Amino acid sequence: MHNQFLASFEAQVFSTTTEQSAPSNIALIKYWGKFAGQIPANPSLSYTLSLCKTLTQMAFDSTQPFSVKLYLSGELNLGFSQKIETYFKSIEMYLPWILMGSYEIQTHNTFPHSSGIASSASGFGALAQCLMDLDKNFGSKLSPEEALKKASFLARLGSGSACRSLYPGLVEWGRSEELEGSSDLYATPYPSSDVHEVFRDFHDWVLLIHEGEKSVSSSVGHSLMHEHPYGETRFAQAKANFASLKSILKSGDLQAFIALVEHEALSLHALMMMSSPPYLLMQSGTLETINRLWAYRKETGHPLFFTLDAGANVHLLFPQGPSSEAIMQFIESDLMAFTQNGGLVKDRMVF
């Protein structure tokens, strides 16, 4: 229980509707492994995307008993409704009015489902924003900054990485001596004054290698880190990588950034391969893309590189700059062959 977020309520509300959105995010330093209560085993750092978002409309009716009906892209989804009902019950101590009515939630993503773009991050981000907006009707006295911090806290309890989706730009989550104000309980915006301009206008083009459900969920992946032979080493490595990244972000050393970000992505997948039982989320298209991309970078020197989420799809990263046109052409002409259905989602982060 976290006292700073406990609450009581004063006002009574009957029925009200709110509409909120949150973007997805892509981690550069990965959160992989957690302790009870969604406490991360290491600090993580992500870019919040701009165009890949979840839009959520929530209608609350306090004349009805507690129930949740969630419609995903217009269709009632019983599995998600049940999941959100359980989530609401789990956060009652932080929003004491939450079980006092019925919810009809309409939600949709601006990007394809199961595209490897984390819809749980944007989904819980938008949901937490809706809840904090409803909270105002119950007499909440939180300032906008405090309400955002609490939204990040609540989103984290739904899905860890979701807490980072509440802020734009580069966002950190997890207690670290490297970042003042950082916490295991909510995300902290990474100060843009400490980020060189080369990192402040970046493309993320997601190559959809595989569009089905993943064979192993992130929750299972996190839990396999407990008995993992390299668990402790990984947590120490992520902490050290965060310290290195801090100085890279400041100095603008793009080559060091590329090396570190790719190393993080490959470490994540290496951990999966060394879990017990082992598993693989990369597909042949993932490997072919990486090899082709490396060859292109060697030939041209253009700063195209990649990161991976817990899935087969490849996030192609490159800064806006003199080579971005050439890089875009290369992706469209040479990398689309590795996708399952020609899927490519283009996003860009400017801050």
Q: Which positions lie near ligand DP6, rule CB under 6 A?
A: 27, 30-32, 38, 44, 118, 120, 159-161, 218-219, 222, 268, 309-310
Specify the residue, 138 or 167, whose C-beta has the smaller distance to ligand DP6.
Answer: 167
Cα(219)–Cα(9) distance, integer angstroms: 33
Specify the residue, 60 or 306, whose C-beta has the smaller distance to ligand DP6.
Answer: 306
Distances 212 to 74, 114, 135, 221, 283 between C-alpha atoms, Å? 20, 6, 37, 18, 12
Which contiguous run of DSSP H or E holds residue 26?
strand 15-29
On whether the CB atoms of residues 27 and 309 are closer than 8 A, the answer is yes
> How far from the centroid of its chain's Cα atoms is residue 7's Cα?
27
Question: What's the sign of the alpha-carbon dihedral 206, 261, 185, 246?
Answer: negative
The strand pairing partners of 315, in sequence order, are 206, 307
Specify the residue, 27 or 58, whose C-beta has the smaller distance to ligand DP6.
Answer: 27
Strand 67-72 and strand 102-109: pairing?
parallel
Q: Which residue is nearest to ligand DP6 (CB)?
A: 160
DSSP symbol at 308: E
Specify the residue, 104 or 204, whose C-beta has the smaller distance to ligand DP6.
Answer: 204
Measured over all CA atoms, what is the biggest interatomic distance in the chain, rounded to whole angstroms?
Answer: 66
Q: Name the minimum Å distance from CB 28 to ligand DP6.
A: 9
Specify the residue, 38 or 339, whose C-beta has the smaller distance to ligand DP6.
Answer: 38
Token look-up 């996190």 returns 222
Question: What's the sign of the alpha-carbon dihedral 303, 169, 260, 26?
Answer: negative
Structure tokens that stand for 153 in this block: 């806290």
On whether the CB atoms of residues 234 and 279 are closer than 8 A, the answer is no
Specify the residue, 30 or 150, whose C-beta has the smaller distance to ligand DP6.
Answer: 30
Q: Name the minimum Å distance from CB 326 to ligand DP6.
A: 29
Question: What's the sign of the alpha-carbon dihedral 216, 218, 223, 224?
Answer: positive
Q: Name the minimum Å distance from CB 27 to ligand DP6.
A: 3
Specify the residue, 281 or 327, whose C-beta has the smaller distance to ligand DP6.
Answer: 281
Specify the residue, 30 or 203, whose C-beta has the smaller distance to ligand DP6.
Answer: 30
Number of C-alpha atoms within 13 angstroms, CB side, residue 300?
Answer: 16
Q: Name the minimum Å distance from CB 14 to ligand DP6.
A: 33
Cα(28)–Cα(19) distance, integer angstroms: 30
